[in-house]
Structure 1
Amino acid sequence: MTHGPVPHNPGHAGGGRMGGPSRVSKADQSQLTLHPVSLRRIGRLFTPYKGPLLLVVLLITGSSLVSLFQPFLVRGVIDDALPHANISLLAWLVAAMIAVAAITAVIGVWQTWISTRVGQGVMHDLRTKLFGHLQAQSLGFFTRTHGGEVQSRMTNDINGMQSLVTNSATAVAANVTTAIGTAIAMIALSPWLALISLIVLPPSVWVARKVALLRRDITLKQQAHMATLQNYVDEGLSVSGIRLAKTVGSTGRDAERFSGASKELADLEMQSQLAGRWRMATMQIVFAAIPAVIYLAAGFPVGGEGLSIGTVVAFTALQSGLFRPVMGLMSVGVQWVTAMAFFSRIFEWLDLVPEIKEPQQPASMDLATVRGEVRFEHVDFAYDGHERNVLTDVDLTIPAGTTTAIVGHTGSGKSTLASLLPRLNDVSAGRVLIDGVDVREMRFADLAAIVGVVSQETYLVHASVRQNLLVAAPDADDEQLWDVLEAARIADLVRGLPQGMDTMVGARGHRFSGGEQQRLAIARTLLRNPRVLVLDEATSALDNTTEAQVQAALDHLASTRTTLTIAHRLSTVEDAQQIVVLDGGRVLERGTAPELRERGGAFAELSARQREGAGEVDAH
């Protein structure tokens, strides 16, 4: 199973030293070996657009063939119409030349419109598929992967493929058709001159390959540096990042670090722009010299015998029309090799197998009749790659409509146990059941409707209060929204805001205090009306006054539901029907608060420490 993205070394191409242009770096070889790019797979992206693509090919072929008439019309003007003062023929030839130009222009606009729509459709499908696929990944993927890397692949890599998908594919068809048709026309006009013109094509292809390989190495380095740069932006220019930088005095260092990464990216862009320029410039000089060579060859008896001036002029026009598509194909070759790196990176993530999967044959759940009985049945859990269990043989039942509190020292596995219920993690052994149904057999949508989570880390999107609530229930009306705000003890505050529920909460909700954010999160959870509630350290970061306000809202939320509470302050779980003490991932003891104090065990010790102020139970 693939567990995460393969890291990309920004200096992978020769350790920062550019090797020979035909040499493929070890990092490139490794990337292609681990994640090869199949042309058939790329072709499947275009399968839904077969009809428009066929029309584009026909339009390109038609345009290329029509444009080939132009040199022959020129020859007719020079050799026949003008020398013989044939005004009628001249008018027809000129009219035909204008018609050819008009037809090719109209076809060009039509073809561009269709090909652009196809290209944008393919890019939309790919972006959407990648976004949905990444959403299916577990939390572990996102803890292992920089946010900047995710943004880079979602934007930079896909944008890097865009020119290839939108323009290059059609350019290949146009240039190939034009090159073949032009070569045939040149041979028909003069085989001798055609031989002179076509002899430069093999070295042109060789130069194009050298330049393509050189630019591919630089492009892969650019993408890795761009991901690093975006990560600096994501970390340094967020609300939390700015707060940290200003309070620890690291703004200067952060700016210097960003400047260094930006300078490296600028240097790579310079290398990319200049890569192979001398080789390409040499070929351009050769192409420019070919017309002169043609005029010279036309003057020799062997090659020029029987050639009219019109033929030479027409041939020269065809020759220039040949080298344009050839140069275009060389350019497309460079773009193609470059884009393959982008495809590799995108397909690499599309091939990630989600660690937590939707069941193939999900259990049928009637959400209206769910009672909410929760059972942890001999549960073991270990994080991927770790041999030591975080949880071992946890056997626990939470009757429907009751509250169970989980307490224990730091690292005892409390939050990990809570994460198994909404399937943020999956058990390594054993089962987690709701009303006797394994959560791994439930649809994600059903499980999300049954289990609600309020955690210590509240996340509010940068939108209005209303939009933050509607994330949980898009069809809720204003009456429902005010009802949950009342229940969460925050309706009066929202009414007093400048725009009421339409007031923006700010980036990550920083317009509001921690307690206010928590109560908005509680309101959002209430809107979904879950039968099972997980309260994971929901008040641990709050002061006593704010905690009392939030706790009142939580008590209301938990009053009619099955509730699993991860407790920070033991005073908040005095009324729980069941308290479970974890230690080292095992259940140490269980019972009500009075029963556990009377036993004088671990809970009594923790409770005494908190009362004496000697320490608090942390639950990470």
Structure 2
Amino acid sequence: MRQHRDPAGPASRVRDLWLLTVDERPRLAVALGLSASGAAVALCQPVVVNRIISALADGASVAPGLVWLLVGLMVTGAAITGTGDCVLAVLAERGALRVRRDYLASVLRLPMWWYTRHPVGDLVARSGSDVDTLKYALSSGFVDILGNGVLVVGATIALVVLDPLLTGVVLALVVASAAVVAVASPRIRRAVREAQDGVGRLGAAIQQSVTAMPIVRPYGGTAQAEARAAQAATGAYRAGVRAARMQAVVAPVSAVVAQGSMVALFLIGGWRVARGELTLADLLSFALFLSMLVTPATTVIGAVLGLQQALGSLDRVREVVDVPRAAGTDDDVAAPVRAGAVDLVLDDVGYRYPAATRTALEGVTLSIPAGSRVAVVGASGAGKSTLFALLLGHAVPCCGSIEARLPGEQTPHADLRHLVGYVDQSVHVMPGTVRENVTAGRPDTPDQVVWDALDRVGLRDTVERLPGRLDAEVGEGGAHLSGGERQRVAIARALAGERPVLLLDEPSSGLDQDSECRVLAAVDAVARGVTVVTVAHRRSTIRSADRVLVLAGGRLVADGTPAEVAHALPHDRFALPEV
């Protein structure tokens, strides 16, 4: 599905929808064949009816074969229609599955900064309602246009043969309705896009409110959250009404074509029969062929409108799919590394977030030998999180370089991300089991490794008491665990990965004194031969480090032992805990 379109570039075209069907072309060809066969069978029915009526009008007996032929054509047509509908339904679901897979693959590989600027609820809505809108275009849309187009052409030829004058009147109505649809289609597309955006904003509002409920409810913010979600719902409603009004303007066009054609048939056709210019059998045959023109033409109009709706949804899906993926996200990062101890070397590293007016990190040069215990300190906004994001590979430096080297070697490791374990202060716990959280993408990790990691953070006894033990569900966001337990599960995840570099964002945050001692002891145990870099706020964390880095305004302003840094810099200026 990736078509490498600039998200700010031109809107999607029908050709882009057609390209999405490339893997389903054989099944689409079957559906088109069934549609064409059904059209051919339908076109034969008026011819048989004409012969039966002509025979009755002449007073002759009707051959039983003609009657059975007519019945056979109707049954065959119904069977073809049913089979075609089944093929199209499967085709629609397969197409939606493919689009959702491509969308999911893109969502999970976006640059990290992108997630902070787009609500999660809107991303979910795009994979739901927007992809559902695409289903019709990925299956029935093209088949309806092409299959019914064949029926329209065949019926038109038959009508011209029967009565050119009456056919001209009917075609004038069809052409006029097509012109109305052509003018209205772009506006309908914009209206549908706005409606889908409104649904996305509603999903984002609900997701944000539910996520914040542990804070919202104690502070009495439920009514405010409800009002915010209701405002988003109202916006979605208004956008939906605008889209419905645009579609309501076009919908009567089909009725005008059908009713106008029948009026023309009765008035002009009856007049021509009365004058002897048209036989009754031909008039009835004309009526049957007319229904085969009007009904398919109406279906084609509906298909065109459906494609316009799908194009609006495709724009929203492609806004995510066409975002360049973060560097290296297609690699198997979770593979075992076993690279041994490594030195970290940063050379004149700088970084600026997209659309930011100032650099978040600038001119950072340092070398961290293997096995070091480094504490990174500084005020909020100093650049600590940015430094970690670069070390984790979440972002690529705008200038300079970051390398991991085996001690004594100058050649950098191929990918720093394969070497880094991470425990963040937000304590991300994934829905699933204890085992899945500790192994984190390494399902083949032996249970003994998992138990050892849990033991080192003081969680073994707790997990052994849980129903299912390692297979116990932790709940959404780790809801079945306490705050301290969630923190230790995250640390166990880093320990089980056995990475030679550990990044810790104040790992003992939120723990009681006993749990803190256990966690710090576990970090001390694993630190032998491992490079540990910690964002530190507590004195105990800083004192346990053998080196302290001080960041201020995105620059490295101090580098030394805890005592040297404490002596050289004022605590109040750089938000340093007293050591």
TM-score between both structures, scaled by the size of structure 1: 0.83
**Matching residue of 1:167:** 140
Identity %: 24
- Over residues 439-498 of structure 1, what are the superposed CA-to-partner deviations in whole Å (9 max), with x where a residue is unaligned? 99845xxx4431111111111122222332343311224333222211222011111223
Distance change >3 Å, CA 333–CA 502, structure 1 → 2: same
Structure 1: which amino acid aligns with 2:243? Answer: S
1:428 to 2:403 alignment: no
**Matching residue of 1:128:** 101
1:601 to 2:568 alignment: yes
**Matching residue of 2:382:** 412
**Matching residue of 2:487:** 518
Deviation at 1:226, TM superposition (A): 0.9
Q: Distance in 2 between the 1:301 and 1:384 partners?
A: 73
**Matching residue of 2:202:** 229
Distance change >3 Å, CA 542–CA 41, structure 1 → 2: same
**Matching residue of 2:244:** 273
**Matching residue of 2:267:** 296
Q: Distance in 2 between the 1:79 and 1:290 partners?
A: 24
Deviation at 1:432, TM superposition (A): 0.8
1:589 to 2:558 alignment: yes
Q: CA RMSD in A?
A: 3.3
**Matching residue of 1:54:** 29
- The match for 2:39 among 47, 64, 69 is 64
1:216 to 2:186 alignment: no
Q: Distance in 2 between the 1:377 and 1:569 partners?
A: 28
The range that moved more, 148-157 or 264-273, is: 264-273
Q: How does 1:459-538 map to 2 (within 5 A)?
A: 459-538=428-507
- Over residues 8-66 of structure 1, what are the superposed CA-to-partner deviations in whole Å (9 max), with x where a residue is unaligned? xxxxxxxxxxxxxxxxxxxxxxx9x8432244333322222332222322222121111
Structure 1: which amino acid aligns with 2:548? Answer: I
Distance change >3 Å, CA 211–CA 102, structure 1 → 2: same
Q: Distance in 2 between the 1:123 and 1:367 partners?
A: 37
Structure 1: which amino acid aligns with 2:188? Answer: R
Structure 2: which amino acid aligns with 1:41? Answer: D
Structure 2: which amino acid aligns with 1:337? Answer: Q
Deviation at 1:530, TM superposition (A): 0.9
Deviation at 1:403, TM superposition (A): 1.9
- Over residues 297-347 of structure 1, what are the superposed CA-to-partner deviations in whole Å (9 max), with x where a residue is unaligned? 334458963533222112111112211111111112222222222222222
Contact (CA 8 Å) 2:379, 2:574: kept in 1 or not? no
Deviation at 1:610, TM superposition (A): 4.3
Contact (CA 8 Å) 2:21, 2:95: kept in 1 or not? yes
Q: Distance in 2 between the 1:606 and 1:290 partners?
A: 84
**Matching residue of 1:375:** 345
- The match for 1:146 among 115, 119, 122 is 119
Q: Distance in 2 between the 1:233 and 1:506 partners?
A: 20
SS at match of 1:227: helix
Q: Distance in 2 between the 1:154 and 1:179 partners?
A: 36
Q: How does 1:19-58 map to 2 (within 5 A)?
A: 34-58=9-33
SS at match of 1:530: coil
**Matching residue of 1:118:** 91
- The match for 1:320 among 284, 291, 307 is 291
**Matching residue of 1:332:** 303
Contact (CA 8 Å) 2:379, 2:575: kept in 1 or not? no
Deviation at 1:427, TM superposition (A): 1.7
Contact (CA 8 Å) 2:390, 2:396: kept in 1 or not? yes
Q: Distance in 2 between the 1:609 and 1:213 partners?
A: 59
Q: How does 1:609-620 map to 2 (within 5 A)?
A: 610=577
- Over residues 122-169 of structure 1, what are the superposed CA-to-partner deviations in whole Å (9 max), with x where a residue is unaligned? 322222222222322211111121222222222222222222223211
The range that moved more, 571-580 or 416-425, is: 571-580
Q: Distance in 2 between the 1:343 and 1:48 partners?
A: 18
Contact (CA 8 Å) 1:497, 1:503: kept in 2 or not? yes
Q: Distance in 2 between the 1:129 and 1:301 partners?
A: 60
Contact (CA 8 Å) 2:341, 2:529: kept in 1 or not? no
Distance change >3 Å, CA 425–CA 389, structure 1 → 2: same
Contact (CA 8 Å) 1:171, 1:328: kept in 2 or not? yes
**Matching residue of 2:373:** 403
Contact (CA 8 Å) 2:377, 2:576: kept in 1 or not? no
Q: Distance in 2 between the 1:385 and 1:269 partners?
A: 32
Q: Distance in 1 between the 2:252 and 2:331 partners?
A: 62
Contact (CA 8 Å) 2:349, 2:363: kept in 1 or not? yes
Q: Distance in 1 between the 2:546 and 2:114 partners?
A: 36
Contact (CA 8 Å) 1:127, 1:158: kept in 2 or not? yes
Contact (CA 8 Å) 2:571, 2:577: kept in 1 or not? no
Deviation at 1:214, TM superposition (A): 4.4
Q: Distance in 1 between the 2:503 and 2:531 partners?
A: 9
Q: Distance in 1 between the 2:550 and 2:95 partners?
A: 54
- Over residues 486-542 of structure 1, what are the superposed CA-to-partner deviations in whole Å (9 max), with x where a residue is unaligned? 122201111122332333222211322222111111122222211111112222344
Q: Distance in 2 between the 1:439 and 1:265 partners?
A: 55
- Over residues 205-233 of structure 1, what are the superposed CA-to-partner deviations in whole Å (9 max), with x where a residue is unaligned? 12323443443343122112111111111
**Matching residue of 1:195:** 168
Q: Distance in 2 between the 1:588 and 1:495 partners?
A: 47
Q: Distance in 2 between the 1:202 and 1:303 partners?
A: 29
Deviation at 1:77, TM superposition (A): 1.6
1:204 to 2:177 alignment: yes
Q: Distance in 2 between the 1:350 and 1:577 partners?
A: 45
Q: Distance in 2 between the 1:383 and 1:496 partners?
A: 46
Contact (CA 8 Å) 1:465, 1:502: kept in 2 or not? yes
Deviation at 1:605, TM superposition (A): 8.3
Q: Distance in 2 between the 1:301 and 1:281 partners?
A: 29
Q: Distance in 1 between the 2:575 and 2:155 partners?
A: 93
Q: Distance in 2 between the 1:479 and 1:469 partners?
A: 12
Distance change >3 Å, CA 165–CA 507, structure 1 → 2: same
Contact (CA 8 Å) 2:428, 2:477: kept in 1 or not? yes
1:342 to 2:313 alignment: yes
Gaps of 5+ in 2: none
Q: How does 1:532-551 map to 2 (within 5 A)?
A: 532-551=501-520
Q: Distance in 2 between the 1:500 and 1:366 partners?
A: 25
Distance change >3 Å, CA 567–CA 175, structure 1 → 2: same
Distance change >3 Å, CA 431–CA 301, structure 1 → 2: closer
Q: How many residues align?
A: 572
Contact (CA 8 Å) 1:596, 1:603: kept in 2 or not? no
**Matching residue of 2:328:** 358
Contact (CA 8 Å) 1:379, 1:428: kept in 2 or not? yes
Structure 1: which amino acid aligns with 2:405? Answer: D
- Over residues 539-575 of structure 1, what are the superposed CA-to-partner deviations in whole Å (9 max), with x where a residue is unaligned? 2344444322332233233334111122111322434
Deviation at 1:172, TM superposition (A): 0.8
Distance change >3 Å, CA 217–CA 586, structure 1 → 2: closer
Contact (CA 8 Å) 1:455, 1:538: kept in 2 or not? yes
